[in-house]
Every structure is written in C-alpha cells, then in structure tokens.
Chains A and B, each alone.
Chain A
Amino acid sequence: MQVLTAFLTGLVFGLGLILSGMANPAKVIGFLDLAGNWDPSLAFVMAGAIAIGSVAFWFARDRERTLLGDVFRMPTATRIDRRLVLGSLTFGVGWGLAGYCPGPAVASLAYGGSKPIVFVAAMLAGMAIYEVRNHWPSARRQTTA
C-alpha cells in the first residue's frame, strides 16, 4: 500500500511540476533573474504549494498515526549549522546554473531529451560523493583518525 501511495504521490507531484512551469529550466531562470526581465510566476507555485501544505501539516500535528495506521517519520534535526547553510548555498548555485532542481529534473527524464538525463546522472554522482565522504566506513575511519 505504501508503495502504491508513493507512486500516486510522485505522479501528482510531477503533474504539478509540469503544469506550474517548474519543469521548464528557462522559466526557472527567468524567475531567478531579478535584474533582468523578471517572470514572477514561480512565486505563485510556492504560494499554492505552501497554502495546501500549511493546512496539511497543521492538521497532522494532533495525529498520532497516518491514515494507513503507520507512524509519522518527520525530521528531528533542529540545529542550524554550517552544513545546512553551505549545502543549501551550493545547491542554489547549481540550481541557478542550469535551472533544474531535483524534482523537475527527475520528472523531465522521459520528456526533455538527453539534457535532463545528463543532469540527473551528474546529480546522482554528487549525491554519491556525499555518501562516500559521510557514510562509508572506510571514509569515516579516515576522517576520525
């Protein structure tokens, strides 16, 4: 059941990304280009998503379990540290360079030709670099030695 609901969520999410214009890198860069001919559309994407999201998370606060009877697995980290800030800044630079963030890039794999495939392959390599440096036992021994 969790697999089916995950698939449906991904599908709805992807439809939203395409309809909103987030899956069009030229539009994303048009939004990020404050000093140029600015396209404010993507502010409307965030407004719409957060409007629904806020209500959902507010209703979920008092619930113990999901509708399927499972526990909620919410993030527990609260510290605002260098990792969070430097990581997010790094992500933002990459986002501005090509106009792709992870969701739209994955949702474009079957429709944007070879460019989203190149981007997603490089993104996976970037994620793998993080894994190797942070979660491989050998890397951990080296960094703590």
Chain B
Amino acid sequence: MTIDWTNFTPWASLAGGLLIGVAAAMFLFLNGRIAGVSGILGGLLRPASGDIAWRLAFLLGLVAAPLAFALAAPLPEAQVDAGTLTLVAAGLLVGVGTRYGSGCTSGHGVCGLSRRSPRSVVATVAFMLAGFATVFVIRHI
C-alpha cells in the first residue's frame, strides 16, 4: 500500500463529513427520522399516504445541492470510470443490496454507527469489506 498524497483532501473531506453529520442531526431533531438515502428513496416504491411529500422533498434537496454549491464555489471534479454496462450492474446490486440490507452508507454508516446500532456495525463492516474486495479484484487480479 502507498498513500495517494496528490488526491488526499483531509480538510475538505472532514468539513464535508461534518456537514453530513449536521444533516443527520437536522433530520433526527426536526423530522424524527434516520437520514438514510436508500430507505428514503426505496420507500417511494411502496408509497403510503402522508409519506410521499417529505421523501420527495429530501431527494429534491439532494438533487439541488450541486446547483447551490456552484453558486458559492466551482464544483469539484467528478470522474466516473465505469462504462454503461458496469453502471447498470452496479446500480442493480446497490438497489437490491441496500433494500435487503436495510440501509447504505448514510443510514448504516453514518446514522447507525452514530447511534451505536449493532446491526449497522455489522452492515457497515460487510459493505466496506465487499467494497475493498471488489476493487481489489478489479484492479489487482
């Protein structure tokens, strides 16, 4: 292992992480819910009355974020190396996996670990290990 010092952005990443934490705290104290993106999105596919508007509003906020960001600073580069076929396969796996696993990086990784949920610890370890293993297979085998 070598450290990629060129792309290492500890301060921006820490600041971004603090903002994500603030968002999780806002959602907890204002809406009384876990700010888990896969759950909020997936819940729209089984809509219950009174349950649709806040989900759409949260997602709309996410979509609007780069537009708001661009008002204050130039948007950082986003580089996607995956081709269409890989994107489709990855999307399907992420969609199915997060619903069976009841959460993703936000719900389990941020909120779940913050509330010391044993289920979220197990889920986070599992998806991190699978992520490390997948990149290892693709890049080094």
Contact = CB atoms under 8 A, between A and B. Distances in A.
A145 interface: no
A130 B95 contact: yes
A48 B76 CA distance: 19
A89 B127 contact: yes
By secondary structure, the B interface counts as helix
A96 to B, nearest CB: 3
Given A5-B31, A18-B75, A94 B26 contact: no
Interface residue range, chain A: 35 or more
12 contacts: A4-B57, A6-B58, A10-B65, A27-B79, A44-B10, A46-B113, A48-B13, A101-B104, A102-B98, A118-B88, A121-B91, A123-B92
Given A9-B30, A20-B17, 4 more contacts: A13-B37, A24-B77, A89-B129, A118-B91
Interface of B: 1-4, 7-10, 12-35, 37-38, 41-42, 45-46, 53-55, 57-70, 75-82, 84, 86-106, 108-111, 113-119, 122-124, 126-136, 138-140
Nearest to A120: B91
